[in-house]
């Protein structure tokens, strides 16, 4: 039995839930998200709590039980508080700039790397830190991964783009002679 799926979801003040046959609309102060409903999962909403139940005990129902609860919880948190990811750019001469809705990375290549911000995701840049924020957890995380993939941190000097709380496993360099 899924321990995640059993947990009820508390709906904070200011968040509206509309349950339809195939989707759940979650509307809050930061925006609106839609979460698909699986036919093997039933959604009950009463007294500002959402509880999910499986229709049967099939493998698909057990798989979807925890997943749908997590997706719905992320939507509720996203429209109420939002999500944020911070990346750090480490390296001599490495620069980050925001030009309109495009992040421009100068990270040691012969050309600047440009990444367009998707709809619903905002970016703030302070010196060598990029802060991405939005209501969709998956979208914010995916954009952060795309930016990190441009120049992942290397293990010898630690140069590159890393998450704010990421620990880089460092290696010792070559020994200098005999």
The domains of the chain are located at 3-80, 83-163
Contacts 24+ apart (CB under 8 A), 142-147: 143/85, 143/115, 143/117, 143/118, 144/85, 144/87, 146/115, 147/87, 147/103, 147/105, 147/115
**Could you say which of 3.90.930.12, 3.90.79.10, 3.30.465.10, 3.40.50.2300 is the CATH number of the domain covering 3-80?**
3.90.930.12
pTM over 0.75: yes
CB 152 within 8 A of CB 130: no
91: left (phi over 0), alpha (psi -120 to 50) or beta: left
pLDDT of 21 reads: 87
Burial of 75 (0-12, 13-18, 19+ CB in 10 A): buried
Please list the pLDDT of the chain residue by residue as tens digits (178 residues). 668 989 999 999 999 999 998 999 999 999 999 999 999 999 999 999 999 999 999 999 999 999 999 999 999 999 999 999 999 999 999 999 999 999 999 999 999 999 999 999 999 999 999 999 999 999 999 999 999 999 999 999 989 999 999 999 999 888 766 5
**Could you say which of 3.40.50.1820, 3.40.640.10, 3.90.930.12, 3.20.20.70 is the CATH number of the domain covering 83-163?**
3.90.930.12
């Amino acid at each position: 039995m899924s321990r995640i799926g059993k947990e009820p979801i508390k709906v904070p003040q200011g968040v509206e839930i509309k349950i339809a046959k195939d989707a759940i609309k979650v509307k809050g102060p930061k925006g609106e998200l839609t979460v698909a409903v699986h036919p093997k999962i039933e959604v009950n909403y009463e007294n500002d709590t959402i509880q999910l139940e499986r229709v049967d005990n099939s493998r698909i129902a057990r798989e979807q039980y925890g997943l749908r609860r997590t997706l719905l919880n992320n939507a509720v948190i996203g429209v109420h508080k939002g999500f944020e990811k911070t990346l750090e750019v480490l390296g001599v001469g490495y620069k980050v700039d925001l030009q309109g809705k495009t992040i421009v990375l100068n990270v040691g290549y012969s050309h600047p790397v440009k990444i367009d911000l998707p709809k619903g995701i905002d970016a703030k840049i302070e010196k060598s830190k990029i802060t991405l924020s939005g209501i969709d957890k998956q979208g914010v995380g995916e954009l952060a991964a795309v930016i990190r993939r441009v120049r992942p941190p290397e293990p010898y000097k630690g140069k590159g783009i890393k998450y704010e709380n990421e620990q880089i496993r460092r290696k010792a360099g070559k020994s200098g002679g005999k």
